[in-house]
Amino acid sequence: MPTWPSTLPQSPQIDFTIVHTSNVIQTEFDSGNIKKRRRFSKNPPKRYNIRMVMNGAQKDIFETFFYTTLSSGVLSFTTIDFENFTQNKDYIFESSGFQWNLLIPADDYDKTIWETSFILAEDI
């Protein structure tokens, strides 16, 4: 399984949000009570909204990792667990991909500063 490149930031520097998805399916009927049941037999995967800052060279490394190593985000990868930062965990990119925001332009591309945001899901 691919691993997150060591030349990229190893944890979110700006912030990240953990999203717990619902594990309940709810069915309403014409009359009577609403029926609820579990969607999964175990807890659903968590989703992580990640924001990182990278320079121009790291931006290129990230895009090569995403498009080439992970086949446009289809494959999962291993990196540090974003909750406890002590062990590794497997993640996969959400279908929304990623986006870039230019924070500091520079004449030298490698010195430009970019913010990227993307959503990862636990690969369980």
State mean pLDDT over 28-41: 81
Q: What share of the chain is helix, strand, coil (3-state, %, to 5)?
A: 15, 45, 40
What's the pLDDT band for 24 if we cut at 50, 70, 90? confident
Q: What is the pLDDT of residues 74-124, one digit of tens each?
A: 999 999 888 888 889 999 998 778 999 999 999 999 999 999 999 999 887
**Taking 90 as the threshold, does the pLDDT of residue 15 lie above it?**
no
**Taking 80 as the threshold, does the pLDDT of residue 12 lie above it?**
no
CA distance 70 to 60: 14
Q: Among all chains, which residue has been given the structure tokens 């500063």?
A: 113
> Between residues 38 and 110, which one has the greater pLDDT?
110
